[in-house]
Structure 1
Amino acid sequence: MAGKLTVITGPMYSGKTTELLSFVEIYRLGRKEVAVFKPEIDNRYHSTMIVSHSGDGVEAFAIKKSKEILEYIDQKTKGVFIDEVQFFDTELFDVVKELLDKGIDVFCAGLDLTHKQNPFETTSLLLSLADTVIKKKAVCHRCGEYNATLTLKIAGGEEEIDVGGQEKYIAVCRNCYNTLKG
């Protein structure tokens, strides 16, 4: 039987990684073999762990290229969990298709939009393949309402791939985004 793809997406601080970690725990509680991955570029909290903003985390393989994921998969693997998919190359799409065809469930978490409201290509590709999409919201940093769907860059340059946390980015609703962008 084919595996299922679940994509968790939304702005920064919406709980994407926390949700991904909850699925890891569910699979582990069910005594299922899992493999957890993160992009090597994202070492904000730890170099070999996926860590949520609240500090929860699990060990992960830090990889540079999507194809490397296949090196860590064997016949016992039942679930693959990938965080920060927006930082991976678009080949992740083909890797995930291969895992699904092997009957492995895949869970991906990542930003859907850049701080300029442009789609992240790898995330968009995975969304098109997903069996289930979980679209998260955050509390707007400016107005305090639970309707933030966008990420706003508040420090650093204008580049769209720029790893950072609260020192560089906030989550905002569309109204506050438009107000703050002027």
Structure 2
Amino acid sequence: MFSGKTEELIRRLKRAQIARLKVEIFKPKTDVRYDETNVVSHNQNMIPSIPVDHSSALLLMISGNVDVIGVDEAQFFDDELPNVCNILANRGIRVIVAGLDMDFKGKPFGPMPAIMAMAESVTKVYAVCVQCGSPALYSYRLVPDGARVLLGEKESYEPRCRACFNAGLLPS
């Protein structure tokens, strides 16, 4: 979290729009942290999107002449998302996916590992560890909740490097 994944997704999709490509954006219907329909970054940059319940809905909802598909918060989608992305890519559609690759326990998260394995290109972006300033690849959960999915922001999570994540240090 806080690494700029959604910001980068929005940047890439807006560049595609500037290039006059037909772009459609999807997000999980469950992610309503900033907005019910728009994809919104922590910096409040936004782009209109279509909230969906299941990844198979992407195949039903895209228009025939779409050039680029964006998917935000991919870790919250079902395990069919890699297959759906593959079908779209095989149709000649550029598919850009953003999501967390690990959950708060540091374990592979949802369909992201399979998507990363099948992707032609992967860009990993990192936050800054709030404990020591190193690159942070973990989302440390600050609240006592064992549920795998807990929608939250700075009150619930903070970015940490491997050493600080494993040390389990409380925030200073």
1:20 aligns with 2:9: yes
Amino acid at match of 2:53: K
Amino acid at match of 2:80: E
Query: How large is the Cα RMSD of the aligned pairs?
Result: 1.2
Question: What TM-score results when the alignment is normalised by the length of structure 1?
Answer: 0.90
**Unaligned 5+ runs, structure 2:** none
Residue 57 (str. 1) matches residue 46 (str. 2):
yes
Following superposition, the deviation at residue 44 of structure 1 comes to: 0.2
TM-score relative to the length of structure 2 = 0.95
- Greater share of strand residues, 1 or 2? 1
* Number of the residue aligned with 1:161: 149
SS in 2 for 1:155: coil
In the alignment, structure 1 residue 43 sits paired with structure 2 residue 36: no
Give the C-alpha shift of residue 156 in structure 1: 4.0
Give the alignment of 1:1-182 within 5 angstroms: 12-143=1-132, 145-180=133-168
Identity %: 34
Aligned residues between the structures: 170
Which of structures 1 and 2 has the larger relative contact order (alpha carbons within 8 angstroms, sep 6+)? 1
Q: CA deviation at 1:74?
A: 2.4
Q: In the TM superposition, what is the alpha-carbon distance from 1:166 to its structure 2 partner?
A: 1.0
Q: Deviation string for 1:54-89 (max 9, x for gaps)?
A: 000011000010011112222310000000000000
Q: Secondary structure at the match of 1:62?
A: strand
Contact residue 156 and residue 168 of structure 1 kept, 8 A:
no
Return the offset for 1:159. Answer: 1.3
Distance 1:62 1:118 in 2: 26
The runs of at least 4 aligned residues of structure 1 exceeding 6 Å deviation read none
